């Protein structure tokens, strides 16, 4: 067999163009591929929801890759340990109620689970606006390539339609802030001081639909609510992603 460079290029272009066109309309779009976004997308896929995960960076995983200060380990508390088991992420008990896992394994297995569940990934893709029509709901996203955004190029975006959107963009709560800036009536208070216990125990209450069609998960949920941050403990992130998936699936009737 002789390898042909044009055939390789054609395979990439045809496959990704087909996928892009297929996902111009979808049930749910998860914005942000960190811990809450990955868990949310994987569980939505398992529920049969047509779901895409949009990540502005080249790599998936958000803050998990670096663990704490580039020590690639994460901590998960007792209440969320079942999600480590569910996604077959190895861990050991450090002290009673504290479980430590490898961040690289956690990212890899959550990503693989989402892929196995049929989730499509669009990385290096930035959401620069949302579509809100007469019904007052977020019904679509305005997207562009991240390098276009980084370079400040004047290149018009494209749009995709989605019934539900999950803002899992972390501390910035990017999608919620877009709506706030345009007078959508959604206040984003911004995250408060580090307080792991408070942040972890309250995050599920903050994981909710904050604007018609827009759900918040993970640190985006705490940022919208003005809640504390928690550092490199990820149980709340996982549980928030699970909660968001349940809320979206319920809204979609799944």
Give the annotated binding-site residues for NAD(+).
36, 55-56, 63, 127, 154-156, 219
Contacts 24+ apart (CB under 8 A), 64-68: 64/34, 64/35, 64/103, 64/106, 64/107, 64/234, 65/103, 65/104, 65/107, 66/103, 67/103, 67/232, 68/231, 68/232
How many CA within 13 A on the CB side of residue 139?
Answer: 6
Summarize the annotated binding site for Fe cation as residue ranges.
Answer: 156, 171
Binding-site sequence positions for glycine:
229
Tokens 């995983």 appear where? 61
Question: Which residues are documented as binding site?
Answer: 36, 55-56, 63, 127, 154-156, 171, 219, 229
Residue 205, token pair as written in the block: 């209450």
Tokens coding 160:
């995709």
């Amino acid at each position: 067999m002789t390898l042909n460079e044009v055939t390789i290029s054609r395979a990439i272009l045809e496959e990704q163009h087909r996928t892009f066109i297929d996902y111009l309309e979808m049930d749910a779009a998860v914005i942000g591929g960190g811990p809450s976004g990955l868990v949310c997308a994987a569980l939505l896929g398992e529920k049969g929801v047509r779901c895409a995960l949009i990540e502005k960076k080249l790599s998936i995983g958000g803050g998990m890759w670096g663990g704490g200060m580039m020590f690639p380990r994460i901590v998960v508390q007792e209440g969320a340990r079942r999600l480590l088991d569910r996604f077959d992420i190895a861990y050991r008990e450090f002290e009673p109620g504290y479980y430590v896992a490898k961040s690289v394994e956690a990212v890899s297995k959550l990503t693989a689970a989402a892929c196995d569940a049929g989730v499509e990934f669009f990385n290096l893709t930035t959401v620069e606006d949302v579509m809100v029509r007469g019904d007052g709901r977020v019904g679509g996203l305005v997207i562009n390539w991240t390098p276009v955004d980084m370079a400040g190029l004047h290149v018009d975006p494209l749009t995709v339609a989605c019934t539900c959107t999950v803002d899992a963009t972390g501390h910035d709560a990017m999608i919620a802030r877009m709506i706030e800036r345009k007078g959508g009536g959604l206040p984003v208070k911004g995250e408060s001081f580090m307080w792991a216990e408070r942040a972890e125990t309250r995050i599920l209450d903050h994981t909710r639909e904050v604007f018609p069609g827009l759900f918040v998960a993970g640190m985006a949920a705490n940022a919208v609510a003005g809640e504390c941050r928690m550092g490199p403990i990820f149980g709340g992130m996982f549980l928030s992603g699970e909660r968001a998936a349940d809320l979206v699936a319920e809204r979609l009737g799944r």
